[in-house]
């Protein structure tokens, strides 16, 4: 991703955090991670996040999703030190459509990104509105998408090792590369 595009998306994320009344320090604002997953379609497949803390035991993050933006399907596998990352999503702003393994919903509220449908297999739907939360167990395939107004989610989890996430789409590169 080019640096000017990173700045544009970072500013959109900061605007969403502000709408959700999430107060960030200047340092946190400067260090918003913009993940395009190496696909070059950040407006529809991507994620913007701020990590507050990530220790051997706990992690806390704020996630911003642009309008209709999708974080692609992935899971947090078993690691040397635990059974995988367990995470709780709490919606702060907008609506988040969360899909996990389990009984698929008949008429989902939203769809995966156009032309990438083959990389999405989990369709048990959980709809999170502000104040609602859901816990995703380790090693569970999941993906999520924002409503048309965008969304902000607080994530509370065990230790995060994003570089170990396993994505259904083998084209994905989790760690962003900024030119």
In a domain, 176, yes or no: no
Residue located via tokens 């999430």: 22
The per-residue pLDDT for 179 is 75
Distance between CA atoms of residues 62 and 48, nearest Å: 8
Give the integer Cα–Cα distance in Å for 130 and 46: 21
Q: Is residue 101 part of a domain?
A: yes
Note whether 143 and 117 are within 8 A (CB). Answer: no
Range of the domain at 62: 3-167
**Structural domains in the chain (count):** 1
pLDDT the model gives residue 151: 98
Position 37 in a domain:
yes
- CA triplet 142, 146, 152: central angle to 5 degrees? 95
Q: What pLDDT shows up at residue 174?
A: 77
Element (H, E) at 126: strand 124-128
Is the residue at 174 inside a domain?
no
Residue 108 covered by a domain: yes
Alpha-carbon distance of 139 to 1, in angstroms, equals: 29
For residue 178, being part of any structural domain is answered with no
Is the CB of residue 73 less than 8 Å from the CB of residue 101? no
Residue 179 lies in a domain: no
| CATH number of the domain residue 123 falls in | 2.60.120.10
pLDDT tens across 65-75, in order?
Answer: 999 999 999 99
The pLDDT value given to residue 123 = 98
The C-alpha atoms of residue 113 and residue 70 are separated, in whole angstroms, by 7
Tens of pLDDT along the chain (179 residues) come to 888 999 999 999 999 999 999 999 999 999 999 999 999 999 999 999 999 999 999 999 999 999 999 999 999 999 999 999 999 999 999 999 999 999 999 999 999 999 999 999 999 999 999 999 999 999 999 999 999 999 999 999 999 998 899 999 999 987 767 77
Tell me whether residue 153 is in a domain: yes
28, 14 in Cβ contact below 8 A? no
Given a contact cutoff of 8 angstroms between Cβ atoms, the answer to whether 42 and 34 are in contact is yes
């Amino acid at each position: 991703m080019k640096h000017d595009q990173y700045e544009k998306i970072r500013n959109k994320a900061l605007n969403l955090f502000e709408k959700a009344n999430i107060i960030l320090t200047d340092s946190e604002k400067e260090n918003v991670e913009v993940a395009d997953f190496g696909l070059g379609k950040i407006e529809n497949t991507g994620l913007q996040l701020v990590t507050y803390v990530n220790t051997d035991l706990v992690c806390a993050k704020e996630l911003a999703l642009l309008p209709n933006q999708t974080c692609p399907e992935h899971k947090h596998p078993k690691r040397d030190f635990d059974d995988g990352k367990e995470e709780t999503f709490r919606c702060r702003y907008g609506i988040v459509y969360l899909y996990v393994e389990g009984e698929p919903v008949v008429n989902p509220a939203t769809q995966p990104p156009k032309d990438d449908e083959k990389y999405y297999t989990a369709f048990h739907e959980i709809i999170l509105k502000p104040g609602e939360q859901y816990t995703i167990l380790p090693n569970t395939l999941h993906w999520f998408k924002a409503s048309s107004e965008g969304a902000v989610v607080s994530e509370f989890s065990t230790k995060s090792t994003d570089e170990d996430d396993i994505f259904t789409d083998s084209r994905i590169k989790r760690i962003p590369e900024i030119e």
